Amino acid sequence: MSEEEKKTENVTIDESESSNDGHRRRRRKAVQNLKCPLCESGVKHVSYKDIFQLKKFTSVRGKIISSEKSGLCHKHQKQLRQSIKRARYMALLPYVAQE
């Protein structure tokens, strides 16, 4: 085999490998034009004492929901994160859901 044939052979092998299992499928991000629900309702500060409001922004397992999914602005997401951590420390919210 000449050098040129080896190069074309390698290229075809590389292409076939990459088309099979070499690539993972990327998830499409759902672009949601959510407005911050706390800004709309006029909340100035998120309190750790309001457990019912904090539970809306935690998952079933007790994880904090990201701002992309919840639609919170940066300011309220930061306040919410701090409030949830305080509520967990005060034993108002669980760290992990009981299974």
C-alpha to C-alpha distance for 67 and 76, rounded to whole angstroms: 9
Of the chain, the percentage scoring pLDDT greater than 90 comes to: 58
- What is the rounded average pLDDT of the residues 26-48? 82
Closest CA to 91 of 56, 48, 52: 48
Q: Domain ranges in the chain? A: 37-89
Q: Is the pTM of this model over 0.75?
A: no
- What is the rounded average pLDDT of the residues 63-79? 93
Average pLDDT, the chain: 80
Give CATH for domain 37-89.
Answer: 4.10.640.10
HSE-up of residue 14 (Cα within 13 Å, Cβ side): 6
Closest CA to 63 of 43, 26, 88: 88
